[in-house]
Amino acid sequence: MRVIDSHTEGEPTRVIIEGGPDLGAGSMQERIARFAREFDHVRRTTILEPRGADAIVGALLCEPTRDDCVAGVLFFNNTGYLGMCGHGSIGVAVTLAYLGKIGSGVSKLETPVGVVSVNLVDENTVTVENVPSYRYRKDVAVQVPDMGTVTGDIAWGGNWFYLCKESPFPINLDNERALTDAALKVQHALWKQGITGRDNGEIDHIEFFANAQAADADSRNFVLCPGGAYDRSPCGTGTSAKLACLADDGVLAPETDWVQESVIGSRFVARYALNANGEIIPSITGRAFICADATLIQQKDDPFRNGIA
């Protein structure tokens, strides 16, 4: 199976370009369901050790159902499948450019949660126009063991997020373990107390915020991803969810840049427009770099040929 590895502001993406499963026809939602049902061993092989790592997000390219899209994209990680991935979309765009499949300018990708546009500014810089994003509930209190009452917003940015009002620790790599443990406690408390997104959507991303460290940035974040790994990038869907909250609070005007730092100091430049339904349409600009053009090999006697589950 041939893959292209890249990182987007530090967060890795592994794109399957040859040798992946044939998911047949149907919508992106039907295909990702078929992927999970019949070919989950491909996800495990691609993402889990010994070939992968918890932080990697995978992407399977497939034929789109729409004529205006250059590719269909199905995202997955160490525990399952994602509707959308912002850093992954930037990685996919740079990968397609590396393969000569797209040139500079705007192209469209079809995902299970809708069409996203990717504007290739140069060989490494991409602006992703995300799916409509919105805040679902404001100031939701949850009782968290060892932390007491935690308050945050529930917002959609292509995935469901709980955006905590305050970070329990300074956001830096020295506190990565403590931040991860705290975010896991919040995540488990949300599950236990039955707090969800719209239509019982599972809140599988937790986001903490603090003041930016760079003078020209607006915020610093720490994002816990569904599989328990932290996002090295500022998180595209998480930044989209944050913009939705800022817009709803009336503190960030449309077409105003918002610079979001990650826990490692990398950054996305974000802004939004409003659609006719009052939802925001976020645009996220970041950089991705190709790391490897590789072939994953399975030997028949390898006990971990499908990954270490």
Q: Mark whether 62 is an active-site residue.
A: no
pLDDT of 1 higher than 90: yes
List Cα–Cα distances, 255 to 183, 194, 216, 245, 251, in angstroms.
31, 36, 17, 15, 13
> What average pLDDT does the segment 233-238 reach?
96
Within a domain: 42: yes
The answer to whether residue 307 sits within a structural domain is no
Same structural domain, 219 and 264:
yes
**51, part of any domain:** yes
For residues 132 and 240, give the distance between their C-alpha atoms in angstroms, rounded to a whole number: 9
In 130-230, at which residue ranges do the beta strands (DSSP E only) sit? 134-144, 148-156, 160-164, 205-210, 219-224
Same domain, 219 and 266: yes
Query: Which residue among the candidates 62, 69, 164, 235 is catalytic per the annotation?
Result: 235
In this structure, the answer to whether residues 84 and 117 fall within a common structural domain is yes
How many domains are there within the chain? 2
Q: Judging by beta carbons within 10 Å of its beta carbon (0-12, 13-18, 19+), is residue 19 exposed, middle or buried?
A: exposed
User: CATH number of the domain that 149 lies in?
Assistant: 3.10.310.10
* Residue 19: predicted pLDDT: 96
Q: Domain containing 179: what range?
A: 134-274
Amino acid at 20: G
Mean pLDDT on 252-274 = 98
Catalytic residue (one of 85, 164, 225, 245): 85
pLDDT tens track for 125-167: 999 999 999 999 999 999 999 999 999 999 999 999 999 999 9
164 is catalytic: no
pLDDT of residue 279: 85
